[in-house]
Amino acid sequence: MKFFRAAVTEVIGLFVGDWAQTAVSVGILGIGWFVLSRVHVNGIAFVIGIALAAQIVYATTFEARQRARHS
Amino acid sequence: MYAQLLTFGAAFLGSAVESVEALTIVLAVGLTRGWRSPLYGAAVALALLAVLVLVFGQLIVTRVPELTLKLIIGTLIVLFGLRWLHKAILRSAGVIAMHDENKSYEDTVKELHGNLLRQDWVAFTISLKGVFLEGMEVVFIVVAVGGTSGSGGLPVAVAGGLLAMVVIAILGVVVRRPLAQVPENTLKYAVGVILASIGTFWAAEGMGATWPLDLVSVLGLAAIYFGASRVAVVMIRRRSAVMA
């Protein structure tokens, strides 16, 4: 049972480190899907990549600030 | 050809990183308590992982429509890649410690010394658990990258994953100590960028988007993710320097 629980935790942990950050990433993809279904321009999907990249810059700098405050 | 190279490379690098971590556990158990039980444990774990790859790989390739597959697996690969990239950025900026194989090795040895009475069973279980749990990430990378990269993608991804495991196992047998010299963070950083890029590419294709120059766009996405990660590292380091 312990092993099974560890395996489940490991699987969830593959995709989710911080639930808020995961929600933001999924939200960006959702908005991207909405926009892509209406705007048919070749290469517009790069905007999704840029938004996700901006999200990771924000999330990592935010976490670094939090850790610095608590140490 | 380009797609297959990308699939092979992602599976190879991802598998190499996790194999180093699994090898550290098996080495710690084997050198402390003898080789028989940990090798059995590792073999059982590898067999379980192979079953997972076969079952999920076949299910995904044969049952799920291509666009749905790209959307779902692409999204999961994005989340997985961003998670690796997130950790790699924090490690590069010095916010969290680099993964230390020597420390992992010593921790496992300590754990074993505390359980001397149940010798073989403990050695078997620790080895099985370590290899299986580390291998889950390899299974995901192989199935996701192989399953979504078209016909023939899964065998290429499996080959990449297996080759990495064999190379790391041979290194482990030769060196007989934790592979602390492997630049694990750099590898995780690279795989994080590659997976986030491939995931974004496939997820958007699953949403119905078209990419200029098709798969070559993955390079553009990789440049965006890599550039952003360097910006994050510089911002964090600057802030730390100001506060020091």
In whole angstroms, what is the distance from residue B10 CA to residue B223 CA?
Answer: 16
| Model confidence pLDDT, tens digit, residues B122-181 | 788 888 888 988 888 888 888 888 877 776 788 899 999 999 989 988 888 887 776 666
Q: Which two tokens stand for residue A66?
A: 């939090």
Which two three-digit tokens encode residue B89? 């950025």
- B151, with CB counted inside 10 A (0-12, 13-18, 19+), is exposed
The residue written with tokens 């010394």 in the block is B113
pLDDT value, residue B42: 92
Tokens 């300590």, located at residue: B110
Q: Given an 8 Å threshold on Cβ–Cβ distance, is B228 in contact with A10?
A: no
ipTM: 0.91
> Which residues of chain B make contact with A39, given a CB cutoff of 8 A?
none
Give dist(CA B206, CA B224) in Å, integer: 20
Residue B95 has pLDDT above 70, yes or no: yes
Average pLDDT, chain B: 85
B113 pLDDT band (50/70/90 cuts)? low
Over residues B65-74, the mean pLDDT reads 86
Q: Are A25 and B78 a contacting pair at CB < 8 A?
A: yes
CB contact A50 to B (< 8 Å): yes
- Asked if B203 contacts B70 with a C-beta cutoff of 8 angstroms, the reply is yes
- Residue B107's contacts (CB-CB under 8 Å, 6 or more residues apart) are none
Burial B164-197 (b: 16+ CB within 10 A, else e): bbeebeebbeeeeebbbebebeebbbbbbbbbbb
> What 3-state DSSP class applies to A1?
coil
Distance CA B44, CA B135 (A): 12
Are the Cβ atoms of B75 and A21 closer than 8 angstroms?
Answer: no
Write out pLDDT tens, residues B221-233: 999 999 999 999 9
Closest CA to B84 of B4, B132, B13: B13
CA distance B77 to B136: 14
CA distance A27 to chain B (A): 11
Q: pLDDT at position B7, please?
A: 85
Region of B31 please: left (phi>0), alpha (psi -120 to 50) or beta: alpha
Nearest-CB residue to A56 (from B204, B208, B228): B228
What confidence category does residue B4 fall into, taking pLDDT thresholds of 50, 70 and 90? confident
Residue B228's contacts (CB-CB under 8 Å, 6 or more residues apart) are A53, A54, A56, A57
Residue B174 Cα, gap to closest chain A Cα (Å): 30
Q: Which of B8-22, B114-128, B189-203 has the highest mean pLDDT?
A: B189-203
Percent of chain A with pLDDT over 70: 97
* Buried/exposed B22-60: b ≥16 CB within 10 Å, e otherwise: bbbbbbbbbbbbeeebbbebbeebbebbeebbeebbeeb
**Is A33's CB within 8 Å of B231's CB?**
no
Give start and end residues of each alpha helix (H) in chain B: 2-33, 36-63, 66-92, 101-113, 119-148, 153-175, 184-206, 217-243
Of residues B109 and A61, the one with the higher pLDDT is A61
Q: Average of pLDDT values for B103-124?
A: 69
The answer to whether the Cβ–Cβ distance between A60 and B236 falls below 8 Å is: yes
* Interchain CB contact of A22 with B (< 8 Å): yes
Nearest of B146, B182, B144 to residue B24 by alpha carbon: B182
Who's near B64: CB < 8 A, 6+ residues apart? B72
Which residue in chain A has the smallest CA separation from B94?
A: A64
Residue-wise pLDDT for A10-68, tens only, equals 778 778 888 899 999 999 999 999 999 898 888 899 999 999 999 999 999 999 998 88
Q: A11 touching B, CB under 8 A?
A: yes
Q: Give A-chain residues touching B87 at CB under 8 angstroms.
A: 17
